[in-house]
Amino acid sequence: MKDDLNKLDIVDFSGDRRPQTRHGSKDYTTVRTRAYPKRRRRKKNHTGLLLLAAMTVVLVVAFIALLIFDKKTIKFSIKDGETTPIEYGEVFDPKSVTANYTGRIFGFNKKECIVTLIEGDTDFSALDLGEYHLKYRATYSDQTKECSQILKVQDTTGPEIKLEGEGYASPGTEYKEEGYTAVDNYDGDVTDKVKVDASKDKITYSVTDSNGNTSTVERTITYKDVFAPEITLTDGEKVLIQLNSTYKEPGYKAVDDVDGDVTDKVKVEGTVDSSKYGTSYITYTVSDSNGNEAKVTRMVVVQESDPPTLTLKGDTSIYLNVGDTFEDPGYKAEDAVDGDLTEDVKIGGSVDTSKAGVYLLKYTVADHSDNEVTAERYVYVYQKQADDVTKDPGKKVVYLTFDDGPGPYTQQLLDILDKYNVKATFFVTNQFPKYADMIGEEYKRGHTVALHSYSHDYPTIYKSKEAFFTDIAKMNEIIYEQTGQYANILRFPGGTSNTISRHYATGIMADLAESAPKLGYFYSDWNITSGDAGETTVTSEIVANVTAGMKYQDVSIVLQHDIKDFSVNAVEEIIQWGLANGYTFLPMDETTPMVHWKANN
């Protein structure tokens, strides 16, 4: 290391400007350095930067000023131009017209406007051909602007023709048209307007709609046997046979368009076991000489001929007051082969007990042989008649009238009438004097008490006019004693048309019919007879007779007798049926349209 240092040349800067080198000297302290004058630092010049900053500020201020003072306006954008064509059937959307509130210099400075259609508002989903002039108003803040658009609905599309089938014809045969349809978006179905131009190998179909648009399609005919023979089954594809009967093949026929009759080539497969209920299938298969195969199947159903039995539990006519709960009494269905079918019974219809009316329930069941049986149940929902029922409700008015009482069943009848707030008319007699107080009871309960006869003895009352009116006067005194009122409505015993009076006085009925009004009496016969005067003693038949007659009368005057229990027993069901069917029951008075029969004596 020291040797290396000895070899260093030492530069001496003292005195002479040129450095001197001494070799081999170990005196390193004599080394002197040359002194140079100190350099001055230059001051940095920031003028350029300041100028750049000032220019930037000026530009920013200018931009902001332009942005602020850029005059803005509303500009519309109409997607398809001011005149917009649309094809008939297309739906036009007025939202395709938009507007922005934007500057004239800076287009990016924009706000979306509210655009409103102010003229031409219509159902744009069903526009007919023609021009529609629309006007829009765009609004932003307090700025508004309007623009117009012409909507031109046109039909430039021809009808669409669709060809059915694939255009095959067997060699040596003529092509059989497989069908086509043509539908136009304006005219609709124009199939009947299609013109067909046929040649051997090609068929051209063309059609022009009412706006002159024409469409044309072509069908190329390929002559190749691709059609299978046609198998026809005698008696159809479903045959019904009875249990334990013998199945006999009804027959079949097969015809091919090339080979002709190929019935003898048909293969029949399948058997029928008629010893048990069920379905069997017979298959018929045949192929023509070109390998086209046809197959059909006949279904053979082994069945029973007798339908099931369907029994309704309870009554087939049920009467309920409004608000009552309806519970079906039930039913049972049985079949000789299928057994119990009760769970298979289907019920059609419903009952709404909140509303008066007649409701039909229809019960239906079928066995596995499709033998069907039905049963019906009527539910009559009625409402008690109102107190303020009008005297002239129009059609469907019923006057229940009862002759020959009062008697042992009159009290029961009055209670039934009260139950439904129905008022009736009683043509009273004195045949049963111990029930005379019932006349007063009839009057107290709001019913009409009318005259019939004191004695109800035909030989006595019909021997003369004087005898009849003497009898009536005696009855009227009893009525007065019971009610405090004289009656002026009467009914001739046996009716105006009776002929039994001929035995006692000729012409008596005609004379009475003429005299009664002159004496201040209103007389009335009836237009519905219950049949309780000798035709029947069965309550259900009384109901059927009265309700059947009511259906054909606007105003019904019903004849019954309150001295016959089977007739009184029918009254409740008659009322229930009538109320459910919208009838009004009224007592007779002087305004009632009286029924007058022709006097036969």
> pLDDT tens across 407-424, in order?
999 999 999 999 999 999
Please tell me whether residue 163 adopts helix, strand or coil conformation.
strand
Q: Give the model's pLDDT for residue 142.
A: 81
d(CA 439, CA 426): 8
| 584 close to 389: Cβ distance less than 8 angstroms | yes
Cα 285 vs. chain centroid, distance in angstroms? 47
Structure tokens given for 361: 């329930």
Residue in the structure block whose two tokens are 């049949």: 531
Residues 236 and 261 in one domain: yes
**Beta strands per DSSP E along 438-527:** 448-451, 489-490, 522-523
**First vs last C-alpha separation in the chain:** 180
**Cα dihedral 489→492→494→496 (10° resolution):** -100
The answer to the question of residue 596 being in a domain is no
Is the same domain home to 496 and 540? yes
Q: How far is CA 108 from CA 77, 102, 112, in A?
A: 15, 7, 12
| pLDDT value at 23 more than 50 | no
DSSP-assigned beta bridge partners for residue 396: none
pLDDT tens-digit map of 77-92: 887 778 889 899 888 8
Q: State which amino acid sits at residue 326.
A: F
Please check whether residues 83 and 209 belong to one and the same domain: no
Domain assignment of residue 183, yes or no: yes
Q: Are residues 401 and 520 in the same domain?
A: yes
Q: Are 110 and 201 in a shared domain?
A: no
| Mean pLDDT score, 234-260 | 92
Q: Which range marks the domain in which residue 187 is found? A: 160-223
515 vs 493: CA distance, rounded Å: 16
Q: For residue 348, what are the contacts with CB-CB under 8 A and spacing of at least 6?
A: 361, 362, 363, 364
Residues 417 and 498 in one domain: yes
The residue count for the chain: 601
Cα 72 to its chain centre, rounded Å, is 58
Chain-centre distance of CA 4, in angstroms? 122
Model confidence over 73-128: pLDDT tens digits? 878 888 777 888 989 988 888 878 888 888 666 556 678 888 888 888 677 877 88
**How far is residue 504's CA from residue 324's CA, in Å, rounded to a whole number?**
55
- Tokens of residue 21, six digits: 């080198």
Residue that has been written with the tokens 């000026």 in this structure: 58
β-sheet bridge partners, residue 15: none
Shared domain check, 406 and 451 = yes
**Domain identity same for 427 and 523:** yes
pLDDT tens digits along 138-165: 998 888 888 888 989 999 999 999 999 9
User: What is the pTM (predicted TM-score) of this model?
Assistant: 0.52
User: How far does CA 376 lie from the centroid of its chain?
Assistant: 25
Same domain, 447 and 576: yes
Q: How far apart are CA 377 and CA 556, in angstroms?
A: 26
Identify whether 59 is part of a domain: no
